[in-house]
Amino acid sequence: MSAKAFPDIQPEQRLLIDGQLVPAASGNTYNNINPADNSVAGVCADAGVADMERAIAAARRAFDETDWSTNHAFRAKCLKQLRDALKAHADELRYQMVAEIGCPLGLTYGPQTDLPISFIDWTIELMEQYEWERELPTVNVVGVPSKRLVWKEAAGVVAAITPWNFPLQINLAKVIPALAAGCTVILKPAPDTPWTATFIGKMVAEHTDIPAGVFNVVTSENPAELGDMLTGDPRVDVVSFTGSTGIGKHIMKRGADTVKKVFLELGGKSAHIILDDADINFAAFMCISVCFNAGQGCALATRLLAPRSHYEKIVEVAKNTFDSVKLGDPLSREQFMGPLVNKRQQQRVLQYIEQGKAEGARLVCGGVVPAGLEQGCYVAPTIFADVRNDMTIAQEEIFGPVLCIIPYDTEEEAIQIANDSIYGLSGAIFSKDQERALRVARQIRTGTMNINGAAFFAADAPFGGYKQSGVGREMGLEGFEEYLQTKTVAIPG
């Protein structure tokens, strides 16, 4: 569906640099493509080196020369202003997000818009109650009684580099804690979803007292050049990145030269483990999560580990579940799954499907572009059965609506298969015996886990992974403290 059919879609096209909403210095813009039909939804500023230089300089100056990092009450006031503005203008954002991401409109009333805005309250409450200073007991060191003070201080200038799959949620998950901690921020969104970031910039510029330079938004069609500027610049103290493991490795190397704090939330290939005593119908139905946001979620459990004793039943229920997922108009409030974000991602997913067939996996359903939706970036919900865990489709992150069903014989084998991955981000376990499920969960090397349909995702829950799924945590207390440094001071006791 063309963006022309969207009501009141007036996206912010400008950058936010040093407190001003401005075009790119070159005047360049680039097209923002609607993945539902590959039409041009609109344009956004295409920033260059000069724009990023201004943003970095502004963020550095704002951190060094204002009291933003130390004035906790003022920060809380400004974040409340931003929260209120985002809530008041959320309906303007919904259609922009549908146009640039392709997510169904109904998801904007949950994890794509309303839920992440609601999470701001938790961070504000945390910063207002946080123990910024504490005192350690007096000790006698080399004859000098010493009292020690521990201070928590803002880490400095933050480069927040975000992906396109859940842009508002991830933008806010980085920006709000960083600002609450007293940092200044340069937000560089994925080129596919610039408006979700420029919208935040507009809210900051027009509805808050956040000082110039504290928050900056720089959009660009070429993510590599400006990303390398951010990650290598000595004026940037922290890099917070969500995206692919390959780019995460590159960022780690870039940050090493100036020994930056680096947070990385990277890929996943999580296991959905159905134990042999589970409610098979419910446990297999829950594989529908793989179709959520067209499978474009790093924490989705895309490997379904099925006990051989119930294997064909699980395959049957999974197939019926995937066959029930309807595709079409993203503006439908009832729509569950939309298109992939762009043609490049669509082709990537289709290539993995061909790889799965070539390696001998059994294609149960899907695997094609749905009839009548060829203009868009759709892929039908796809299931492979009889997958071995050493197959490419079982080891690599596809980032599309593709489920791999892998048989196992014993609980120990299921644990071994789940852990046989370079990733360790999330997972799910189903069993009628909750203690058994918890025992298995303790043996899975992964950062989050859902048991029997429960969901960990909330503002207070730290999110991140083991192994090549990342470094550090986002959200929760642990995510807030990613943006802090610790100073210990001794005075005579």
Strand 271-274 to strand 427-430: parallel, antiparallel, or no bridges (unpaired)? parallel
Residues 184 and 160: beta-carbon distance below 8 Å: no
Task: Return the closest-CA partner of residue 54 out of 228, 193, 235, 191.
Answer: 235
Tokens of 142: 């080399």
The helix or strand, by DSSP H or E, that contains position 120, with its residue range, turns out to be helix 120-129
**Tokens describing residue 236:** 């940037």
One-letter amino acid at 10 equals Q
The token pair at 455 is: 């969901």
Catalytic sites, residue numbers: 265, 298
The shares of helix, strand and coil residues in the chain, as percent rounded to the nearest 5, are 40, 20, 40
Lateral strand order in the sheet of 144-154: 133-141, 144-154, 484-492
DSSP 473-487: -BSHHHHHHTTEEEE
Give the number of other Cβ atoms within 10 Å of residue 50's Cβ: 11
CB 111 within 8 A of CB 121: no
Distance CA 389, CA 380 (A): 23
What are 484's strand-pairing partners?
A: 154
Cβ atoms within 10 A of the Cβ of 137, count?
A: 8
Q: Which long-range contacts (CB under 8 A, 24 or more apart) does 140-148 make?
A: 144/492, 145/492, 145/493, 146/490, 146/491, 146/492, 146/493, 147/490, 147/491, 147/492, 147/493, 148/488, 148/489, 148/490
How far apart CA 332 and CA 121 sit, in angstroms, is 29
Alpha-carbon torsion (154, 159, 165, 166), positive or negative = positive
What angle separates helix 72-88 from helix 167-181, to the nearest 10 degrees? 160
Whether the Cβ atoms of residue 377 and residue 38 lie closer than 8 Å to each other = yes
- CA–CA distance, 149 with 146 (Å, rounded to integer): 10
| Cα separation, 237 vs 367, whole angstroms | 44
